[in-house]
Amino acid sequence: MPNLLFRGLSHTSITLSLVLLSACSEAPAQSMSGTPTTAPTTSPSVTAVAASDSAQTPQPALTFAEWRTLLRSDAIAAGISDTLFDRAFAGVTPNPDVIRLDGSQPEFTRPVWEYLDGAVSPARVNQGRRLMAQERVALDRIEQHYAVNRETLVAIWGMESNFGGNIGSYNVVRSLATLAYEGRRQAFWRSQLLAVLQILQHGDTDPEHLVGSWAGAMGQTQFMPTTYNDHAVDFDGDGRRDVWRSSTDALASAAQYLNASGWQMDQPWGFEVRLPGDFDYALADPENRRTLSQWQALGLKPVNSTAAQLPGDSLATLLLPAGHKGPAFLLMNNFRSILRYNNSTSYALAIGLLSDSLRGDAGVQGKWPVGERQLGRQERIELQQLLTQKGFEPGKADGIIGANTRKAVRAFQQQQQQPADGYPSVELLQELRRF
């Protein structure tokens, strides 16, 4: 889902996001989604919000009825029809399942290679190719108008909602009202709820058909309400921005979002590379941007020969999603645009690889360290605590492996004269315990 931090995800996509955030890498753009415990499904955007917020859920000072009355006054003052408000809130009560999902913290993370196996499965690639041919006329128009590659749009469509097959079944008004009333980040959820009322006021859909993920992500490309208001478009010309039932509107809306995020039609998202034997793995830092010519001078060689034809002054960062034992990728500006859609590096990598597969390119050529176990959440917290005790400053011990934790891991690895890839492995945790 668009990097509206949590457009509205299904439970699977949020769990997935949390997993990706901790298991994979730190995104160089904004914030959206995380780690997979199950195969990827819908919008990971909401995930980022849930993953980044570890505050305790505040206890409501008002009853839900009192809170709703105050919200009604604010909504009417903001131009929402009183009749519409009453219709949208008819029979709405807090949903305990939403609060439970908002507070869930997966204990174990899936390895990135397992996540990518599900994201870029042969079945998904084959279905995506069929739909790309089926939607060819609409995609021609969208590509021409927004200058965003069709393969990327279809990849997002597949990842976010299984090509429209799983847009969520939660009542969006009820979910957002629950979160705004007693969830974490109540101001954020209240803004999403008011945005939903604006969508209803606009007439794009009606309260009875306004469904989405438990966190409010909506439609075939899983937009959060404020993102919808900013970027959803009526591209099929029926007078409604219908991302629920119109694949044309959904794909064009995703294209509009990526276009606004700086998408460059003439560049790839990135590409796989081979590293020289004496490579300094500490250079695999999202803040270390170099030109392709500079990376080439360091001995990096593209796996795909077409990548060698890119302009040498193009900037890229190096990603080692499984550390120095796994494949390596150079990431270009379009990768950052995908991260703005969903701030999970694993999600963005999946979109890039899925789009490549839809185009007919070969998959990842490097070998994944499939025999390695991923750290559980308590182990990740322990790793952060041990790094702090030893003076490496990883930040808060919250079990989320972010940029600060990776920098601390690199510093420890360098001190131990190990490959400084910043990857939090079981082996590294055991070394810290002995240190």
- Distance of alpha carbon 324 from alpha carbon 50, whole angstroms: 30
Query: What are the tens digits of pLDDT across the range 386-396?
Result: 999 999 999 99
Q: What are the DSSP calls for 172-195, one per residue?
A: HHHHHHHHHHHSSSHHHHHHHHHH
Angle, alpha carbons 314-25-338 (nearest 5°): 50
Q: How far apart are CA 116 and CA 359, in angstroms?
A: 17
Task: Mean pLDDT check: name the lowest of 43-47, 199-203, 230-234, 314-318.
Answer: 43-47
Rounded to an integer, what distance in angstroms lies between the CA atom of residue 302 and that of residue 296? 9
User: Residue 37: which pLDDT band, with cuts at 50, 70 and 90?
Assistant: very low
CA distances from 142 to 247, 270, 296, 333 (A): 12, 22, 35, 21
Q: Tell me what pLDDT residue 58 has.
A: 58
Q: Is the pLDDT of residue 197 over 70?
A: yes
Pair 115, 20: CB distance under 8 Å: yes
For tokens 């939660």, name the residue: 170
Q: pTM here? A: 0.86
Please report the pLDDT score of residue 305 as a whole number: 81
The confidence score (pLDDT) of residue 109 equals 78
Buried b (16+ CB within 10 A) or exposed e, 247-265: bbbbbbbbbbbbbebebee
pLDDT band at 3 (very low <50, low <70, confident <90, very high): low
Between 57-61, 153-157, 253-257, the lowest mean confidence (pLDDT) is in 57-61
Confidence label for 408 from pLDDT (cuts 50, 70 and 90)? very high
Residue 340's pLDDT band (boundaries 50, 70, 90)?
A: very high
Residue 106 has a pLDDT of 73
Of the listed ranges 58-72, 126-140, 277-291, 319-333, the least confidently predicted one is 58-72
- What is residue 60's predicted lDDT score, i.e. its pLDDT? 72
Range with lowest mean pLDDT among 39-43, 99-103, 194-198, 416-420 = 39-43
pLDDT for 314 beyond 60: yes
Contacts within 8 Å (CB) and 24+ apart, 132-140: 132/358, 135/247, 135/248, 135/251, 138/235, 138/236, 138/247, 138/248, 138/251, 138/252, 139/251
State the pLDDT at residue 416.
93
When mean pLDDT is compared across 106-115, 312-321, 350-359, the lowest value belongs to 106-115
pLDDT at 20 over 50: no
Rounded to whole angstroms, how far apart are CA atoms 225 and 285?
33
| Joined tokens for residue 331 | 């990431």
pLDDT score of 12 more than 50: no
- pLDDT (0 to 100) of residue 59: 63
Q: Looking at per-residue confidence, does 318 or 305 come out higher?
A: 318
Phi and psi angles of residue 272, each rounded to the nearest 5 degrees, phi first: -75, 145
Position 208 scores a pLDDT of 85
**Mean pLDDT taken over the chain:** 88
- Does residue 14 register a pLDDT over 90? no
Residue with the two structure tokens 């590096």: 345
**Residue ranges of domains in the chain, CATH in brackets:** 1-262 (no CATH), 270-359 (1.10.530.10), 377-434 (no CATH)
Residue 373, token pair as written in the block: 């176990």
pLDDT of residue 104: 82
Q: What single string gives the DSSP state of each residue in 258-306?
A: HHHTT--TTS-SEEEEE--TT--GGG--TT--EEHHHHHHTT-EESSGG
- Cα(405)–Cα(397) distance, rounded to whole angstroms? 9
The pLDDT value given to residue 64: 97
pLDDT band for 9, please (50, 70, 90 cuts). Answer: very low
pLDDT value of residue 56: 52
Helix, strand, coil abundance in the chain, percent, nearest 5: 50, 5, 45
